């Protein structure tokens, strides 16, 4: 795990991150605790892609299990209101 103290970024700018980012995400430490994670654009895009695929798989699972309702937002809100009364 690559770590970097926040004051190093303040002192050296993004050059402090440039030397580490090639080896993976850089965890920025502030007050002895990880506060931020700096990712390369490629890692960030990959993460978004993985999340999109996981959300799609979950949606397909919900659809297959019958946990999806069809209708307008107004109809669904009306149904929810009836259930809470």
CA distance 85 to 78: 11
pLDDT band at 69 (very low <50, low <70, confident <90, very high): confident
pLDDT band at 68 (very low <50, low <70, confident <90, very high): confident
- Rounded Cα distance between 39 and 22, Å, is 10
Q: Tell whether 50 and 32 lie within a shared domain.
A: no
- Tell me the whole-structure pTM to 2 decimals: 0.66
In 1-85, which ranges are continuous DSSP H helix?
6-12, 15-21, 41-64, 73-84
Q: Place 40 in a pLDDT band, splitting at 50, 70 and 90.
A: very high
The structural domain count of the chain equals: 2
Domain of residue 51, residue span: 42-84
pLDDT tens profile 2-36: 999 999 999 999 999 999 999 999 999 999 999 99
Q: Is there a single domain that holds both residue 60 and residue 47? A: yes
Pair 9, 31 in one domain? yes
Q: Do 50 and 69 lie in a common domain?
A: yes
> In the structure, what pLDDT confidence band is assigned to residue 80 with cuts at 50, 70 and 90?
confident
């Amino acid at each position: 795990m690559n770590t970097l103290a926040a004051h190093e970024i303040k002192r050296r700018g993004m050059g402090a991150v440039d030397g580490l980012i090639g080896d993976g995400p850089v965890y920025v430490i502030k007050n002895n605790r990880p506060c931020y994670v700096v990712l390369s654009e490629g890692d960030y895009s990959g993460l978004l892609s993985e999340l999109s695929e996981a959300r799609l798989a979950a949606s397909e699972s919900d659809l297959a299990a019958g946990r999806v309702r069809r209708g307008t937002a107004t109809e669904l809100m009306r149904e929810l209101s009836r259930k809470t009364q």
